[in-house]
Amino acid sequence: MANDKKIKAGIIGGAGYGGGEMIRLLLNHPNVEISYVNSRSNAGNPLYAVHADLLGETELTFTGEISSDIDVLFLCLGHGEAKKFLEETEIAPAVKVIDLSQDFRLGETVKGREFVYGLPEMQREKIVTANNIANPGCFATGIQLGLLPLAKAGLLQEVHTTGITGSTGAGQSLQATSHFTWRANNISTYKVLTHQHLKEIRRSLQLLQPSFAGDVNFVPVRGDFPRGIWVTSYLQSDLSLEEAQQLYKAYYAGHPFTHVSDKQIDLKQIVNTNKCLIQLEKVGNKLVIHSIEDNLLKGASGQAVQNMNLMFGLDETAGLRLKSVVF
């Protein structure tokens, strides 16, 4: 795609965390122009009235209208609302849709639109030709990236997984567990062994390793930090550490955002980037896999842009070479 013909993008649900990150990424994307950011409750207001950090970046305003004069539409709506939106709204079939909700991750369709599960490290070829993308969940991305090479090699067994998420994973609604006084210096768990992302995880793993019948035992933890997801998984494995590292490095060799570290990793290495870092350990007969990502980027809006890049034939990293916050 020539540099002088930019992709026109629309954003639905631009006032939330995911929508805000979409705006931030697309504003700086060299091949995209934002045609509109829809938010009924904020129509007419400048984007920086809601996303105050955008003061000085753009004079764009929210709109309450929706147009099909775009190339791609990002849906940044709550779970259940994306499906409803597409059912109720006329969007021209030529407009590609990238949905950040969980509404189409398990094969659901709407008005003939079929959705490709948008995990590039697993589905790049399908994404390149897709018209609609179901963007993976944040935990689902981190956990799958830690397990895909094993699944592809048919080596998955029952997995034990802990995932610790920043508070942005819970969105911007005010609730007891999002109160600063409560959450600061605190730890708690939720949906232990029952998290909704287990469905899409299992679906992917069985696609790669149909024989896989073991549990993915997942303990989700609320961390006392805003951004990022830490995942530690372990399972029985005959692989040596070196074999496992080779397997993982080979799997991710062509993927620009997922890297295997030979050294101890820590969460802040990836905060504010679209990257996933993976570290392996072998203890006795157990293989330990740590995988980390920014839940709002690789786990949401960043991956959505990555999918868009693939769908439109752009460099996969366009607009996604982000400076980590690191400290």
Least Å distance, CB 214 to a second copy, is 13
Per-residue string for binding with a second copy, 240-259, x by CB under 8 A? ----------------xx-x
Distance CA 38, CA 165 (A): 28
Strand partners, 282: 287
Q: What positions carry a catalytic annotation?
A: 138
Per-residue string for binding with a second copy, 42-81, x by CB under 8 A? -------x-xxx-xxx------------------------
Least Å distance, CB 192 to a second copy, is 5
Residues contacting a second copy: total by CB under 8 A: 82
Q: Name the residue type at position 212.
A: F
Q: Among the candidate windows 89-97, 145-153, 206-214, 228-236, which touches a second copy by CB under 8 A?
A: 228-236
Q: Which is nearer to a second copy, 38 or 258 (CB)?
A: 258
Least Å distance, CB 168 to a second copy, is 5
Q: 21 — phi, psi (to 5°)?
A: -65, -35
Contact (Cβ atoms closer than 8 angstroms) between residue 222 and residue 183: yes
Distance CA 207, CA 296 (A): 26
Relative to beta strand 276-283, strand 286-293 is: antiparallel
By CB under 8 A, residue 212 contacts a second copy? no
Q: Among the candidate windows 7-15, 68-76, 149-157, 229-237, which touches a second copy by CB under 8 A?
A: 229-237
By CB under 8 A, residue 280 contacts a second copy? no
What is the rounded (10 degree) CA torsion for 303, 293, 137, 322?
-20
Q: Which is nearer to a second copy, 41 or 185 (CB)?
A: 185
The three-point CA angle 117-125-256 to 5° equals 90
Q: Which two tokens stand for residue 22?
A: 């979409």
Q: Name the residue type at position 257.
A: F
By CB under 8 A, residue 157 contacts a second copy? no
Q: According to CB under 8 A, which one of 180, 211, 238, 313 is a site residue for a second copy?
A: 180
Residue for token digits 């609730």?
175
